[in-house]
Structure 1
Amino acid sequence: MTAAPALLPGTKTVPFAGALAAHGDRTAVIAADGTVTYRELAARVEATASRLGRERRLVLVIGANTVEALVVHLAALSAGHPVLLVPGDHPEAVQSLVDAYDPDVVAHPNGGQWVLDERRPVSAHDLHPDLALLLSTSGSTGSPKLVRLSHQNLQANAESIADYLEIRDTDRAATTLPMHYCYGLSVIHSHLLRGAALILTDLSVADSCFWELFRNARGTTFAGVPYTFDLLDRVGFAAMDLPHLRYVTQAGGRLAPDRVRHYATLGRAAGWRLFAMYGQTEATARMAYLPPDLAETQPQAAGVAIPGGAFRLQPLPDWPEENTGELVYAGPNVMLGYAHAPADLALGRTVQELHTGDIARRTAEGMYEIVGRRSVFAKILGLRIDPAQVEAMLARHEVASLCTGDDEALVIAAIGTGAADARRIRNMVTSECGLPARAVRIHLVADLPRLPTGKPDYRAVRELARPADTGSSTPEHPIGSGPEDLCLLYARILDRTDVTPDSSFVSLGGDSLSYVEMSLHLEERLGHLPTDWHATPIRGLRPPEGEPPARRRTVETSVALRAMAIFCIVGSHIHVFGIKGGAHLLLAIAGYNFARFHLTTAERGERIRRACLSIARVAVPSMIWIGFVLPLNDDYTLANLALLDSALGPEDSKTGMHFWFIEALVYILVVAVALLVLPLADRAERRFPYGLPLTLSGLGLLTRYDLLGLPDRAQIPDAVTVFWLFALGWAAAKARTKAQRIVVTAAALATVPGFFPGDPGREAIIIATFALLVWVPSLPSRERVNQVAGLLATSSLYIYLTHWQIFPLIEGFSRHLAFLASLIFGIAYGATANHLMRALPSLLALGALRRLTRPGLRARRSSDALEYPAASATGGG
């Protein structure tokens, strides 16, 4: 048993922190640089406890998800030293608390080493014997108001959590939340109590390296706040293969009932459980949990009290409904009380039960539901924010303001004018409170709203946040990056009237005609676009935390490559230069976009409907143009019009194969859709989103290397021999880990060479650009470059279709002018065609598709963004 030597009589400790050695050689910590056993951890804790000494001292620990920070924290708890745990990513808050509480020891990182700065040998404070831990309730503001927690609080809450979560010594929990946050700390304590392992990391769930670490460490659980689940949607969590995952926990703010139900259903299908929980720092961490078997039927409930705890409802005059009142909690995890200054560290218990400030209703089944808030505090993304403190902070910077908030955002009315003032205020608030920029809504007004009595009118401030507001205030995001602004942008570009913050580009039926335009507008407004922005709800799109949109622009790699490809293809056909390989690269991009825009979580019938519309969006404009030019010359035949030239057309035609790429893409998409029509294939794709396309690519190599005894390549459709490239692009889009991306890149490196005998330059271009697509989501750019790239990428299909007829008219006069004219004419034709193409989904009321679609499912517009850009750069480039 680990303990600091020769503790003074009467010194209290936290039992689990002193019992680490009892777990022997079991793994305690898995970190990037290796593993630590419980025996090794106990030895390091004991050595650090000895350094801290016998005399109780106030130890300030910079919170970090590192072994060093964990050792100091456990050492202090095991030796009876009160710990003041502070956020490690906010130096101003740390300094504020150092100034306010004058700790005796400061433990912090310094140049890669962990330092114990012993400021005095004995404490300058009178420390109550029960005091074990001090935590902030106000996020990263550095507020001197702290929660005083006892040794019993920590032990009891850890035991209770381990009890209802049924934590086993074989569990391995990832530290998805910071150590200084009570929720994140409770994960650490409860797992150490049971001898389970911690996967110690500060990586985000949005980082593919996190999931690589989680799988390699055989992770069984992780915790999340509501924002975490937005990130999970973005990274395709539903399709991930996590064979050891047992359960997921959620707390830190209310998760919408539909989201609770969605993740509970997802977990039930995948074999893990969702625990939605409710807690406050004042209760050490947890007060209630929703039993997983009720998450789908009662997702709105906070649940039942944790083991050892109990709730009661205190009636309130403003809430006269039966079984409704302020939620009051009692249990061994209720704090000792608050500390506002060092003198309060000598206090014992001043609180017997916790008045949560939440208004709750008790259901007939005994569940508690939170229906409102009584206090003025706002709990945003798991951080409790005191609006009065925000007002005071802004006042120190000579900004007059009123501040209020709810579970989603902090709303501030401030006197000021112009975007610069709004940006300055937002930066101050995000820096002070530790909130992301999207959770701070700034409204500039000439005068602060007041009631007739002269008191602040906070209701009027809340009204400013409503989208319908047309008052004199400046929009909450002057730079146009707020959810309401983005809803308007989506509505305009997609021509929809039903856009909400929960909509995504995919769910709104966004297609390739609008994909490039939307991505460029969003990049301009947000400064950065996540890889899966098209599937991310609008409310999840935001500028980098604490910053306005960056001035430095980027362009999505797939957009840049499509623009480059059509530029090179047309230029090569006119012999302005000779850069070939673009069309075959675009086959890979077609597969890449097919996976991104069609293989979503939608029902099988909806997937098929959208994919069929995608095929129509490639074929229809191609057939219209070919039909227009067919009677004007003898270059094309009816086989071209029907997109069957590669199958039926004369082999000696030099012009008939102008549209080989479109034909190949249509054939490949038809095969892909036919595959997904099969329920077994649909299930296989959802279960093995990366493995299936990699397998298909392998099968495609049978025709790529002519292992089936096929006729000469000139006598069969190109789709037969190039399918493997489409499948490789599909696999690239589903590659989530570094290892998977390496495999896809290596496959291209191994299979592209030799496809064009005697033309290694073309093969090198295909390999290099494919690797760029796999490894580099976006490229540095400029606004003007983005505009040009957007025009070329959006109009690429039309440029390809028309350039065969445009450049011969001018080529004899000037090749360069013919090149420019081909691009301009294609862009102009595209502008007209794009408008007409938007009506395509409503014109294609195909009975066969209706039968494939779930009964009662209302048809929506296609969300394809593959086909168009990919098909755009066709031709023999």
Structure 2
Amino acid sequence: MRWVRNSHPNPKTVPFAGELAKHADRTAVITADGTLSYRELAARVAATAQRLGSERRLVLLAGSNTVDTLVVYLAALAAGHPLLLVPHDRPEAVRSLVAAYDPDIVVHPDGVLDERRAVSAHMLHSDLALLLSTSGSTGSPKLIRLSHENLRANAASIADYLGIRDSDRAATTLPMHYCYGLSIINSHLLCGAALILTDLSVADARFWDLFRDARGSTLAGVPYTFDLLDRVGFEEMRLPHLRYVTQAGGRLPADRVERYSALGRRRGWDLFVMYGQTEATARMAYLPPDLAASHPQAIGIPIPGGSFRLEPLPDWPDPDTGELVYSGPNVMLGYAESPPDLALGRTVEELSTGDVARLGPEGLYEVVGRRSGFIKLYGLRIDPHRIETMLARDGLISCCTSDDEGLVVAVTGDVDAGHIKRLVAAECGLPARVVRVHVLAELPRLPTGKPDYQAVRRLTGPEPVSTTDLCRLYAQILDRPDVTEDSSFVSLGGDSLSYVEMSLRLEKTLGSLPADWHTRRIRDLRRPVRRARWRTLETSLALRAVAIVLIVGSHITIFTIRGGAHVLLAVAGFNFARFHLTSADRRDRRRHVLSGLARIAVPSVAWIALAALVTDDHHLGNALLLESALGHNSNYWFVEVIVYILIAMAAWLSVPVLDRAERRSPFGFALGVLLLGLAARFDLFGLFDLPSAISALWMFPLGWASAKASTSGQRLLVTATALATVPGYFGSGELARETIVIAGLILLIWVPALPSTGSFNRLAGPLAAGSLYIYLVHWQIYPLLADHSQLLALLVSLACGVAYAAITTSVMRYAASRSFLRRRHDPDGPGDARRPRNPPNAETGHERSPTMPVEKGGGG
């Protein structure tokens, strides 16, 4: 072992950092904000290297997939400064490693360079280039020491077997501080290829927009990434420039290797299954794409420049099986556990991987177990990996480990914990009482996407969901950065359009939801409920989804089941009462109603105006939404009636005496409004000569009264009202239509939620959320296709409405968040002239304390 003072190595030993300029004006980095050429990147790296200075110092970098972080990383390597790379989103890990290693320079996540001393406090070996955490131990003082030669050799080897071209464009789908993610950066910069630099998840539609626009050719993932790809419909995506997909970071089940390999063959790209460890810089083996279908269980062959041998093991007597030992120029220098270890040279010549492998007759290696991963219980040697593989054959994603009491298994999906317990116990020969099974919505994972086995060991009940996580979810969906534990869906201005997405996301996170979740504080929702095999779907959401399908299908004449529009009117009244009449502040109520009115009227006017411009069926006057009020027949009568009702509701909320009356007797007030609607419905005493569409508005207060009915007697009264008033409304011969409306009302009044499944919820959710917009757009869509295929016309109408809903929601959310931020930044401006500096808590009516903490949400 040797060490030297802090002299510089030759920067050219890391060409992907020191020789960027040779690629001249080729594109180096692509982000959502623009591009950087290699010449521009080299200039920024050189300037940053100058800032870091000529004296070698230990640099700690909080790494994220951003241009600034990339520049610091390359500058440190090019100038010879040993770099300690840590995750930017783990402040506790940063603090721990700063305390343990006392770096000379700390580069914070916001890009601020904290120069703690001009001359290093440490002895730094001349070969030392990079320090990374061992897999699964982020924040631990045990680090892996990598040399410039390790980085250069592994990048060159990866570029060789992947055949990376200078025209390739690789997306950073993995964190930069993770060796797999870092190897993508190193190998592509070595070849003059481009990086699509992003922190976006593959589950985010914006990632795919960026990937397509950038003509992405390379996609990388750990097994969890492939779970996400399955969820977002990767199989059906058109990615014309994709050349290959790589997988590492854990075993991908053989059946999924086969499936993705076959998908690649159909779509014209290759699948590279790879094997590696941070101790080997990144990669040690790869499976050639042409062998993935026939040998999906194999890790493949050593990378160029590397080799394997099998160390015999007493418990594995097969001569072709043993511990996998790797040799090559990418094997680490050794471990560091404290600052004095930074002065050490090479202490490791070959890498004992800890994996038990078998060499097949085709010359391919296959990992069959883990030497140190066996668990001894009741005198039995148990391989957790074998249990995970067994469950994977049944399509279950799981983590298996042990604690002091026995075996701990975490599994996702709609499964029965008792069944899994019995299955695992039988497989291992253990008594069922020593197997604990936790059914979770998602497995706990490290930032790299790998399973977090330590978190699994700590499980003592259902998956814990923190209020911070829930606050972030609320902030993301409602675009409100001011979410706190005391907020509720209603207090944050949620309405029926965002309610669908919120309820489905919460049910997935927490399990079944209480009927009044929308008025409960977030702190009161955090207790998780164990997921059952059957899911539930709130009745109002189910009615919205079913009704819109019936409406569109009846218009196309696939079938004739009428009454859906009137059910939707009642549901609109039901939701109005739940979302707009719970705030303690009259101005907030009115503001919520006007916001809901805008979310309906603006996209409706825009769509009808567009239809008038491109078709002969409408004129621009239709866009004023006055046809029903003028007594004219209108395809959009349902939208127009909703708009009229919301205008009327905003008007009465402006009258303090009416507002107070509603607060004193919510059900009685709703009943009074219903009586006014029934007067119009029956045209009592000839006082009301209203157009037929307007007379339907009585369904709205009927739904309103259903929501405010809090006792069995009140529900019976509303039910009796429906049974007495619906028959005869549509004229003679409309028994089926009346039955549909009455059935919908009875469900709304008496049944809070219906039994469902996860699959049906995923289908019903977008239909319910987009019901208004589907009604709006289907008039223009289905005539184009009905003559060819009525079923196709139905499906396309539904899809177009859902798409228009998504566009409208995005635009409205953006506008709302901008308006909110303007109010926050200008509290004395005209928009807040009538509002208290500290807005009242919607649950209590009391003013919120100026010192109340605000959770930082992810969607703000």
User: Which bin holds the TM-score, normalised by the shorter protein?
Assistant: 0.5 to 0.7
Describe the shift of the 1:751–1:135 C-alpha distance in structure 2 as closer, same or farther (beyond 3 A): farther
Q: Of the candidates 527, 531, 535, which is equivalent to residue 510 of structure 2?
A: 527
**Partner SS, residue 135 of structure 1:** strand
- Whether 1:476 and 2:441 are equivalent positions in the alignment is no
**1:60 maps to amino acid:** L
1:404-428 per-position Cα deviation (integer Å, ceiling 9, x unaligned): xx99526454789xxxxxxxxx9xx
Q: Of the candidates 628, 639, 649, which is equivalent to residue 763 of structure 1?
A: 639
Alignment of 1:153-192 (within 5 A): 153-192=150-189
Alignment of 1:379-458 (within 5 A): 408-409=398-399, 411=401, 413=403
- Aligned partners of 1:166, 1:753: CA distance in 2, in Å? 64
Describe the shift of the 1:23–1:522 C-alpha distance in structure 2 as closer, same or farther (beyond 3 A): closer
Q: Of the candidates 311, 322, 326, which is equivalent to residue 325 of structure 1?
A: 322
Residues 481, 525 of structure 1: 8 Å contact kept = no
- Whether 1:18 and 2:18 are equivalent positions in the alignment is yes
Alignment of 1:658-669 (within 5 A): none
**Partner SS, residue 476 of structure 1:** strand
Residues 288, 302 of structure 1: 8 Å contact kept = yes
1:704-743 per-position Cα deviation (integer Å, ceiling 9, x unaligned): 9799xxxxxxxxxxxxx9xxxxxxxxxxxxxxxxxxxxxx
- Whether 1:30 and 2:27 are equivalent positions in the alignment is no
Alignment of 1:570-581 (within 5 A): none
- Aligned partners of 1:589, 1:204: CA distance in 2, in Å? 37
- Report the counterpart of residue 66 of structure 1 in structure 2: 66
Residues 7, 54 of structure 1: 8 Å contact kept = no
- Residue 122 of structure 1: CA displacement? 1.3
**Partner SS, residue 108 of structure 2:** strand
Alignment of 1:100-139 (within 5 A): 100-110=100-110, 114-139=111-136
Residues 585, 766 of structure 1: 8 Å contact kept = no
In structure 1, runs of 5+ residues without a counterpart are 1-5, 379-386, 388-405, 417-425, 427-434, 444-458, 490-515, 530-546, 567-581, 592-642, 647-655, 663-696, 708-720, 722-748, 769-788, 794-804, 839-860
- Whether 1:297 and 2:294 are equivalent positions in the alignment is yes
**Partner SS, residue 202 of structure 1:** coil
- Aligned partners of 2:562, 2:741: CA distance in 1, in Å? 23
- Residue 811 of structure 1: CA displacement? 3.4
Describe the shift of the 1:154–1:558 C-alpha distance in structure 2 as closer, same or farther (beyond 3 A): same
Q: Of the candidates 338, 341, 346, which is equivalent to residue 341 of structure 1?
A: 338
Describe the shift of the 1:178–1:808 C-alpha distance in structure 2 as closer, same or farther (beyond 3 A): closer
Residues 11, 129 of structure 1: 8 Å contact kept = no
- Whether 1:51 and 2:62 are equivalent positions in the alignment is no
- Aligned partners of 1:284, 1:30: CA distance in 2, in Å? 25
Residues 63, 109 of structure 2: 8 Å contact kept = no
- Report the counterpart of residue 86 of structure 1 in structure 2: 86
- Aligned partners of 2:137, 2:191: CA distance in 1, in Å? 31
- Aligned partners of 2:437, 2:184: CA distance in 1, in Å? 40
- Aligned partners of 1:525, 1:71: CA distance in 2, in Å? 39
Residues 66, 198 of structure 2: 8 Å contact kept = yes
Residues 589, 866 of structure 1: 8 Å contact kept = no
Residues 223, 249 of structure 1: 8 Å contact kept = yes
**2:31 maps to amino acid:** A
Residues 30, 217 of structure 1: 8 Å contact kept = yes
Residues 28, 37 of structure 1: 8 Å contact kept = yes
Describe the shift of the 1:126–1:254 C-alpha distance in structure 2 as closer, same or farther (beyond 3 A): same
- Residue 290 of structure 1: CA displacement? 0.6
- Report the counterpart of residue 725 of structure 2 in structure 1: 811
**2:433 maps to amino acid:** G
**Partner SS, residue 438 of structure 2:** coil
Q: Of the candidates 213, 219, 224, which is equivalent to residue 222 of structure 1?
A: 219
Describe the shift of the 1:130–1:826 C-alpha distance in structure 2 as closer, same or farther (beyond 3 A): closer
- Aligned partners of 1:480, 1:248: CA distance in 2, in Å? 24
- Residue 527 of structure 1: CA displacement? 3.0
- Report the counterpart of residue 240 of structure 1 in structure 2: 237
- Aligned partners of 1:829, 1:118: CA distance in 2, in Å? 67
TM-score, normalised on structure 2? 0.54
Q: Of the candidates 347, 350, 353, which is equivalent to residue 347 of structure 2?
A: 350
- Report the counterpart of residue 202 of structure 2 in structure 1: 205
**Partner SS, residue 118 of structure 2:** coil
Describe the shift of the 1:71–1:550 C-alpha distance in structure 2 as closer, same or farther (beyond 3 A): farther
**Partner SS, residue 139 of structure 1:** coil
- Aligned partners of 1:14, 1:314: CA distance in 2, in Å? 33
Alignment of 1:269-284 (within 5 A): 269-284=266-281
Describe the shift of the 1:867–1:467 C-alpha distance in structure 2 as closer, same or farther (beyond 3 A): farther
- Aligned partners of 1:249, 1:823: CA distance in 2, in Å? 51
- Aligned partners of 1:72, 1:868: CA distance in 2, in Å? 44
- Aligned partners of 2:112, 2:435: CA distance in 1, in Å? 49
**Partner SS, residue 301 of structure 1:** coil
1:828-859 per-position Cα deviation (integer Å, ceiling 9, x unaligned): 9999xx99x99xxxxxxxxxxxxxxxxxxxxx
**2:83 maps to amino acid:** V
- Aligned partners of 2:397, 2:739: CA distance in 1, in Å? 59
- Residue 115 of structure 1: CA displacement? 1.8
Residues 11, 77 of structure 2: 8 Å contact kept = no
1:417-472 per-position Cα deviation (integer Å, ceiling 9, x unaligned): xxxxxxxxx9xxxxxxxx99979xxx9xxxxxxxxxxxxxxx99x96999997528
Residues 104, 120 of structure 2: 8 Å contact kept = yes
Residues 807, 821 of structure 1: 8 Å contact kept = no
Describe the shift of the 1:215–1:589 C-alpha distance in structure 2 as closer, same or farther (beyond 3 A): farther
Describe the shift of the 1:436–1:89 C-alpha distance in structure 2 as closer, same or farther (beyond 3 A): farther
- Whether 1:249 and 2:232 are equivalent positions in the alignment is no
Describe the shift of the 1:558–1:57 C-alpha distance in structure 2 as closer, same or farther (beyond 3 A): same
- Residue 180 of structure 1: CA displacement? 0.3
TM-score, normalised on structure 1? 0.53
Describe the shift of the 1:469–1:39 C-alpha distance in structure 2 as closer, same or farther (beyond 3 A): farther
**1:264 maps to amino acid:** S
**1:173 maps to amino acid:** A
- Aligned partners of 1:408, 1:437: CA distance in 2, in Å? 4
Residues 157, 286 of structure 1: 8 Å contact kept = yes
**Partner SS, residue 207 of structure 2:** helix
- Report the counterpart of residue 283 of structure 2 in structure 1: 286
**1:762 maps to amino acid:** F
**1:222 maps to amino acid:** L
- Aligned partners of 2:158, 2:554: CA distance in 1, in Å? 48
- Residue 141 of structure 1: CA displacement? 3.5
